Chains A and B, each alone.
Chain A
Amino acid sequence: MRYLPLDDADRADMLAKIGVKAIDDLFADVPNAKLLKSLPPLAKTQSEIAVEREIGRLSARNVSAGSVPFFVGAGAYRHHVPASVDHLIQRSEFLTSYTPYQPEITQGTLQYLFEFQSQVALLTGMDVANASMYDGSTACGEAVLMAHRITRRKKAVLSGGLHPHYRAVTETLAKWGDTAVAELPPDPQGKEDAAAAIDGETSCVVVQYPSVYGSIRDLKPIADAAHAKGALLVVVVTEVVALGALKSPGDMGADIVVCEGQSIGNGLNFGGPYVGLFATREKFVRQMPGRLAGETVDAEGKRGYVLTLSTREQHIRREKATSNICTNSGLCALAFTIHMTLLGEAGLRKLAALNHANACDLAERLGKVKGVSVLNDTFFNEFTVRLPGKAADVIEKLAERHILGGVPVSRLEPDHPELADLILVASTEINTDDDRAAFAAALKEVL
């Protein structure tokens, strides 16, 4: 087996040194009756060629985003990732290293995490950010738990513009962690009054910016309303490129900002691995979950970085930890920080402008198709379209015409038949004029 360096002669020598006769002597603590007498009924060792063929066959049965005009978003976006990003994250020293427990020999990881944290803090307009979370949705759940700890209250208000999966994750944690959520109904028009739902029990109100339906609202009034009642504002961003064009949540009074960072540096990957961004105010840092890299000096006085404030974490605090989280999304955070460094502020702003312009163009084209209307007054690179009929069927028909035309809202909100005629449509920098024209033409055809 090509991955196993020991051969039978080595094994025999080693058994002799250990002083046992057979390998199973080392498994003596396993109840004998439970030791497997034969191999599991699975295929045996295969060559690279054979494995590549098998996985390749599975891959070929999927329609890849790059092979068709592609407009699917709703929390995961197809952006162009520069070739150098994937090359760099595959450097052995990044790919095959582990959590930087030994800072003397992991300064590479620690420094990029420190840079990552700095970029995330700047982008969100917050004081500090952690070294990343599993993804945006779990970061959202953790943000709510953190708000409970800070306010010593137990109820979160969830906006109807929050991604339904994020809502479900937060609900799951609440249901089994003995806290409460107050959910506002789905808000495709972006007109809800979340402030009215805040009361003296509310620990935080969670709003998405732009909302899952694409609309963009000033967060200042909701921040003020939350603060007036002693609650926090948690802002969720699922399309982080939007922050290249929009005012930061921090500027509008957010207390915790969580983002799905996939858009920068990371591919679609059928939903994961992604990277959760988590940022907050300085005064809340000791209530923050997750890893943190911090600056210090070494024994010679040279600047260096370490994991810090770990007294919040499970390996020290055990049952008193701020979270059970033990890992972050290191390599995805690396991809994010490299791509962000390549973009720089100038590139990010240009990228955001291009996304917005492409989406504006698509909204105009789709709005002209008979029977189709665009719901949003405001949006960044994604918006909601009303169709004259069941949206899921239309999306299937478009797929038959080799166009991946967005997400039917019914897939995210199956319990809301009144939303069954809506689709979420995204257009990023990857779409060409031809792609958008083809989408509009095909939509006209299938309706």
Chain B
Amino acid sequence: MAMNTQGRPTAPGTATIAEIQTFTGNRGLDHEEPLIFEIGDTGRTGVDLPAAPKAKSRLGGLERSAEIGLPGLTEPETMRHYVRLSRKNYAIDSGLYPLGSCTMKHNPRLNEKMARLPGIGDIHPLQPQSTVQGAIQLMETLARYLMELTGMPAVALSPKAGAHGELCGMLAIKAAHEAKGSKRDVVLVPDSAHGTNPATAAFMGYRVKSIPAMADGTVSAEAVKAALGPDVAAIMLTNPNTCGLFEREIVEIAKVVHEAGAYFYCDGANFNAIVGKVRPGDLGVDAMHINLHKTFSTPHGGGGPGAGPVVLSAALAPYAPLPFIRKDGDKLTLVEDASEAGDAAPFGRLTAFHGQMGMYVRALTYMLSHGSDGMRQASEDAVLSANYIRASLKDVMSQPFGGPTGDRPCMHEVLFDDTWLKDTGVTTLDFAKAMIDEGYHPMTMYFPLVVHGAMLIEPTESESKQSLDQFIGTLRFLANEARHGNDKSRFKEAPMLSPRRRLDETKAAREPRLRWRPAAAKAAAE
């Protein structure tokens, strides 16, 4: 055996694969981490503050007397707790994150640096507008970029997320109808839509009418025309759609929608496929939200904060919500109240203050960094990478809309179904969980709902060819094992190597434990 200069072996020799029970429950770098309530206490703190000077209380006799029960930790304990928790998470920075419809692309760190500049991160939304002209200019620049890239004449920046943007766009549509005295109460939504679309329409009191897709996964203008009528206010259509396909009849759809006096809301969740390639405004769209956290790389942050600005057609622009930017020579004003709106007829206000500035600056930083050429290249690479995966897996996995040879191009995400898993005993869920043991985050599963056992893979433009090849190799291996392997435990038991095995979601829903309670801790200890 080779020895180093200290006489220690340089190779571990032959090891048996051992599943040992450790004393701590930890497994090497994977630490079991208790709750802050189990390690902290109410007297401990990680913040040194001066004692408050004695003053007569002006709290009106409503001082809190009883203990709240909030545990504290010192700084080193805090660091360790959250660093240990962080290591139980999958992240873009640690691996390919092929979650379809989520656009898990690289999050440039320059974005983070810019968001923390004192003149960006440390300004108050209600300090005098004369002291924040640079910030309003930044918003105006972002607005200009969004309008240019979408070919639309107006944008409402304030929506806080994609679903909030949908609400914004649909409210503008409702306001436009109302201004014309029209009382339409139906919204058309294809079967394959995101759940937020029907939820948004229903919230506003619209009846939702479903539109079936054609056998090829897209919506036909004929089907839309058949569903249109004097009661239809709008259609909500995702393009590229949730099957990863560009709606090829979109121009005709927009035409028949407009002819029927309705508006065209486009869900822009999948805008990353077409930036710099085609402009929604040229297709006849009236309103479209843009998820800055998808297409424009603001971090997903474990589930928000997002941002969902909405671009609007000339017909809808007057109804954009407060606040909006008014340009008067060099001076920029944020119009915050309807009484100052002039000719505009804002439908109202969607949020306090001005929206997600922290996301605006990150998105604008991304846009300036990429430039027009880089943004177009990013979309092309995203589409190229998805098609490369499609072409490399078409012989082992089945596509619902791939055509007879599986060669129909997709946009930036590729959709497979579970036909190829028939009679293997392995489900889409099992297959996805097995990917975890191979070091990958699964793709989006069981969505869109119109496809059985759907697997929606979106690699984004951020992967190298080596990374794509490794991913493809892994999926081919797993597909082969699923179809021809003798031992299906790799799937049925998966994941086996993650911080936790499959979790009991039924128990979580039947006996909801939504917070720590002292009694629960006591019972657990017994």
Contacts and interface: CB of A to CB of B under 8 A. Distances in A.
Interface in A40-54: 40-46, 48, 50-52, 54
B91 A347 contact: no
Interface in A166-206: 166, 168-169, 171-172, 175-178
Nearest to B44: A344
Contact of A5 (B81, B322, B464): B464
A313 B194 CA distance: 12
A270 B129 CA distance: 11
Contacts of A163: 352
Contacts of B374: 1, 3-4, 44-45
Interface stretch (B163-171, B224-232, B419-427, B475-483): B163-171
A245 B78 contact: no
Interface string B335-359: 0110110000001111111111111
Interface string A31-75: 100111001111111101011101111111111111100101011
Contact of A25 (B42, B62, B409, B493): B409
B325 interface: no
A435 B345 CA distance: 42
B383 A84 contact: no
Interface in B13-43: 33, 35-37, 40-43
Contacts of B97: 98
A147 interface: no
Given A105-B498, A294-B508, A304-B500, A39 B372 contact: yes
B306 interface: yes
B409 A28 contact: yes
A99 interface: yes
A360 B56 contact: yes
B326 interface: no
B121 interface: yes
Contacts of A30: 246, 248, 274, 277-278
B464 A65 contact: no
A299 B128 CA distance: 57
B148 interface: yes
A27 B246 contact: yes
B51 to A, nearest CB: 7
A233 interface: no
A215 B71 CA distance: 29
B91 A92 contact: yes
B257 interface: no
Interface in A1-24: 1-6, 10-11, 13-15, 17-20, 23
A268 B63 contact: no
A347 B123 contact: no
Interface in A412-436: 412, 414-415, 429
A372 interface: no
Contacts of B503: 103-104, 296-299, 304-306
Interface residues on A, range: 35 or more
B50 interface: yes
A2 B500 CA distance: 36
A328 interface: yes
Interface residues on B, range: 35 or more
Interface stretch (A223-231, A285-293, A438-446): A285-293
B376 A216 contact: no
Contacts of B303: 98-100, 109, 131, 291, 327-328, 330
B371 A308 contact: no
Contact of B500 (A76, A103, A260): A103
Given A108-B88, A344-B44, A55 B120 contact: yes
A277 interface: no
Contacts of A60: 119, 134
Interface in B34-75: 35-37, 40-47, 49-73, 75
A399 B131 contact: yes
A137 B158 CA distance: 13
B298 to A, nearest CB: 9
Nearest to A137: B352
Interface string B113-135: 11111111111111110111111
Contact of A168 (B251, B348, B392, B505): B348
A243 B493 CA distance: 47
B465 A6 contact: yes
B121 A268 contact: yes
Interface string B385-400: 1011011100000000
B189 to A, nearest CB: 9
A17 B388 contact: yes
B57 to A, nearest CB: 7
B509 A42 contact: no
Interface stretch (B1-9, B201-209, B258-266): B201-209
A84 to B, nearest CB: 6
Contacts of B60: 215-218, 377-378
A378 to B, nearest CB: 4
A274 B158 CA distance: 13
Given A39-B376, A95-B91, A246-B59, A23 B384 contact: yes
B164 A134 contact: yes
B461 to A, nearest CB: 6
A128 B372 contact: no
A347 B70 CA distance: 10
A128 B127 contact: no
A296 B406 CA distance: 42
A29 B58 contact: no
Among B356, B432, B462, chain A packs the most CB atoms within 10 A around the CB of: B356
A30 B300 CA distance: 29
Contact of A55 (B251, B301, B361): B361
Interface in B254-302: 274, 276-279, 282-283, 299-302
B314 interface: no
A302 B32 CA distance: 10
Contact of A332 (B145, B304, B461): B304
Interface in B479-521: 493, 495, 498-505, 507-509, 512-516
Contacts of B82: 88, 91, 94, 112, 338
Given A4-B461, A66-B122, A218 B62 contact: yes
Contacts of A414: 337, 339-340
Nearest to B275: A40
A3 B132 contact: no
A379 interface: yes
A14 B380 contact: no
Contact of A42 (B250, B372, B507): B372
A251 B391 CA distance: 62
A138 B58 CA distance: 30
B304 A329 contact: yes
B444 to A, nearest CB: 8
B179 to A, nearest CB: 13
Given A109-B302, A298-B501, A97 B89 contact: yes
B134 A61 contact: yes
A405 B184 CA distance: 48
A344 B45 contact: yes
B123 A270 contact: yes
Interface string A81-102: 0101010111111111111111
Contacts of A42: 145, 148-149, 367, 371-372
Contacts of A299: 493, 501-504
A26 B130 CA distance: 49
Contacts of A247: 62-65
B514 A94 contact: no
Contact of B515 (A118, A360, A363): A118
B49 A112 contact: no
Given A3-B106, A105-B441, 10 more contacts: A4-B461, A5-B462, A11-B381, A36-B278, A56-B117, A59-B117, A118-B515, A245-B64, A272-B357, A309-B509
13 contacts: A11-B381, A27-B383, A30-B248, A34-B251, A61-B119, A76-B124, A105-B436, A118-B37, A122-B68, A123-B70, A177-B204, A244-B68, A321-B199
5 smallest CB-CB distances across A and B, nearest first, come from A344-B72, A61-B134, A271-B353, A172-B348, A331-B301
